[in-house]
Amino acid sequence: MSRFKSSCTSDTGLVTLDWSSGGLAEGLACYRAAQFFEAHEHWEGVWLRLHEPEKSFLQSLVQVTAALHHFEAGNLIGAVSLLRRALNRLSRSPALFGGIEVAPLRAEIKGWLEAMESMPTVRPRDYPKIRPVNVRLD
């Protein structure tokens, strides 16, 4: 499998994102390690080569990584703004899209936004989780 493979066509003819290798897998590993800038870089490289609707979907995940990077750097206003934009994009996706469980991700982003807006000095408990389906995460 090519290092740069990012998507494949399923039996239904729909494009699904391949989270098991290449830039998507590398970005996911960085995201899970809270290396948000690095995750952003990996995913942005894939995002540039995608077409709609996968392009907008991946852009929402890139915005989440950028938001969390801003949050870690102490830029709460930037983090809130980017999370709102990501949530807006994710609201256009079904509960499962591009190989990712979108519904729980949306719920966790909403929780982060509520926490950041109501208690800006308190760090929310866990980062929103990006859960790919059919990919083993060790």
Domain residue ranges of the chain, discontinuous segments joined by +? 15-118
Superfamily in which the 15-118 domain is placed by CATH:
TTHA0068-like (1.10.3450.10)
The mean pLDDT value for 74-89 works out to 96
Long-range CB contacts for residues 81-84, cutoff 8 Å, separation at least 24: 83/109, 83/112, 83/113, 83/116, 84/113
Euclidean distance between CA atoms 49 and 18, whole angstroms: 13
At residue 2, the pLDDT reads 33
At residue 14, the pLDDT reads 45
**Res 123 pLDDT > 80:** no
Tell me the range of 50-54, 84-88, 117-121 where mean pLDDT is highest. Answer: 84-88
Residue 108 CA, chain-centre distance (Å), reads: 12
Residue 62 CA, chain-centre distance (Å), reads: 6
The mean pLDDT value for 121-128 works out to 83
Residue range 82-115, pLDDT digits in tens:
999 999 999 999 999 999 999 999 999 999 999 9
The answer to whether 112 and 75 are in contact (CB under 8 A) is no
Euclidean distance between CA atoms 58 and 44, whole angstroms: 8
- Please give the mean pLDDT across all residues of the chain: 87
**Res 1 pLDDT > 50:** no
**Res 57 pLDDT > 70:** yes
At residue 124, the pLDDT reads 77
